Amino acid sequence: MVAVPNIKLNNGIDMPQVGFGLWKVGNDVAADTVYNAIKAGYRLFDGACDYGNEVECGQGVARAIADGLVKREELFIVSKLWNTFHDGDRVEPIARKQLADWGLDYFDLYLIHFPVALEYVDPSVRYPPGWFYDGEGEIRTSKASIQETWTAFEGLVEKGLAKSIGVSNFQAQLLYDLLRYAKIRPATLQIEHHPYLVQQELVNLAKAEGIAVTAYSSFGSLSFEEFSMKQAKGLTPLLEQDTIKAVAEKNGKTPSQVLLRWATQRGLAVIPKTTRPAIMEANLDVTSFDLPQEDIDAISALDRNLRFNQPSNYFPTESLWIFG
């Protein structure tokens, strides 16, 4: 089994540098996928309310524990607060629901998914709620501030419901604002990060502030093709990009391993996903070799500041915004 190094968080807790992402893992295969990933050696699993598969992922964890593959304390389970639960009094109840869905007593890390507060949708009406208040196209915002939400997050730590807390999809200005009032500093920042979107200044800021960075969508546009985003049209997929392929051939690795090592060698954590056992093992083994600095630089030079995961990409043009 591949030995995966840890990243020491600013609260002293160790987080595996290579984990397994659960976005778009189908409900019909989620339990088996998580079970097989644990069997392959993964210990960090990155989930979210919005993924709609937390019950099934929890079943995979429970089966692995029951079969003696792993102990709960050996796992690092990550989940995220969805936008409709940003109001302070909504945070703990939904976190408890998500824990129940997972079959867990605590999350190792709980993140604010987006710095976007939307009007509350009761889970009994629709869960996960998605972006639209009516489930179709109407977007209603909430007045909840990041400070209100973060204060409730700190309460989760105090009550033992989350060991670490952090943020996702935040940019520098919001991080600076959060750090002004945070009694518990964010342990991690999760961002879209790949050679077409390097965000080096943001990575540098996080490092300077002692905040670990987790990269998602390490393979670029692959996860977003179904959304027909205009910025992906005519773009060479990273796994087929000439520079990436040349570096892979030169180093005797696959393009996916090169992309993941480019991130991990620069100190970031990664959360790739696949249902194929051979690829699971290959993606996990991305810290046992080093790329020459010239290869790191060549990959970084592909930067186009091209972001795929932003809220406006998911909204139909006729969406109605109601500011509450």
- 91 closest CA partner among 137, 41, 151: 151
- Which residues are marked as active site? 51
Measured N-to-C along each axis, helices 242-251 and 255-264 cross at an angle, to the nearest 10 degrees, of 90
User: What does the alpha-carbon distance between residue 61 and residue 123 come to, in Å, rounded to a whole number?
Assistant: 24
Burial of 126 from C-beta contacts in 10 A (0-12 / 13-18 / 19+): middle
Q: Which helix (H) or strand (E) holds 264?
A: helix 255-264
113 belongs to an annotated ligand binding site: yes
Residue 167 has phi, psi (to 5 degrees) of: -135, 160
CA distance readout (Å), 245 to 240, 241, 248, 322: 7, 6, 5, 47
Q: Are 317 and 289 in contact (CB under 8 A)?
A: no
Task: Tell me phi and psi for residue 108, to 5 degrees.
Answer: -70, -30
Q: Is 62 left (phi over 0), alpha (psi -120 to 50) or beta?
A: alpha
Question: H or E element: which one contains 58?
Answer: helix 54-66
Other CB atoms within 10 Å distance of the CB of residue 262: 27
Annotated binding-site members for substrate: 113
